[in-house]
Structure 1
Amino acid sequence: MNTAQINTAAPTPRSLADFGLVDLTKVSCASFYIDAITGPKITFREVGTVYFDDHENQRRVVLHLTVETKKRGNKKVLVPDSIPRFIVSNLSGYDPLKNIWGSGGHEESNVELTVEEAAAFRQQFEALRAGMVKEKNLWTWYRSDLALASQSAA
């Protein structure tokens, strides 16, 4: 690859692996909800959160994505000039007696995303939720092998 090709090459979009999340079986739960923002046209604020628990390494990673969408036909598309918000939280240490993460520390960072990257993460979050069990009447999904999932489905 020459210099001109390097300078014109599009950057590789980020993925879950860029945040150390390769084993998707470590997803413990996810949440998703939509708020309608009124104005000249209705815009929707979609908020998705995914929790990855790595008990062996005493680490929880929480990815929180907020995007703005509009209806186009029967699907929602991201608003092209919107600014997605992506927050990555790393919690270290799990206290089984209190059943809480973060006993060893907490670190949070805002990650700048392009609208295209946000759209890709939004699709990944949707795909993760598709393989999970939704809690009855709420906005939370759990892995099917977790006790909370079997209680929710009942």
Structure 2
Amino acid sequence: MKLQYRGVSYEYNPPVVEMSDGASGGKYRGLDWRFRNPKKAPVLNTNLDLKYRGVAYHVGETTPASVEATPNANPETVKTPVLSAEDRARSLMLSHSRIIKTRQQAMLTRSASEIGLTGDIAQYWNRIQGKIHPSFRATYDRRLVTH
């Protein structure tokens, strides 16, 4: 079958798939229908020139086993700072407090728009920068939503 796409003509020969009639069937709105299943799943060979991040590769192609990585003559190790448990706990608490304050600001903005306040609510952020009520911290846990 000869096809044309964006001015390029090419010959297309669709693969032939052998089908078997299934045992299921019946009538729907006066028409007969049957399930047809392929006898063997068609596997088409790809001859695509694929690229990933500028590196060409082919599907199903294996790399030669003789290629070995050469070790770097001067390896530079980067030491990552290890935080103590106390520092990690402090960081987690500050992060959690920041998330709660952002959530409270969003709730304040939504509430103000619902009752029709026209002023800029963002200027009232200093009201939220204070202490977080303990009952709010105890009941506000977003981890339950993500699971």
TM-score range, shorter chain: under 0.3
Q: What's the TM-score, normalizing by structure 2?
A: 0.20
Q: What's the TM-score, normalizing by structure 1?
A: 0.19
> Larger relative CO (CA 8 A, sep 6+): 1 or 2?
1
Decide which structure has greater strand share: 1
Higher Cα Rg, which structure: 2
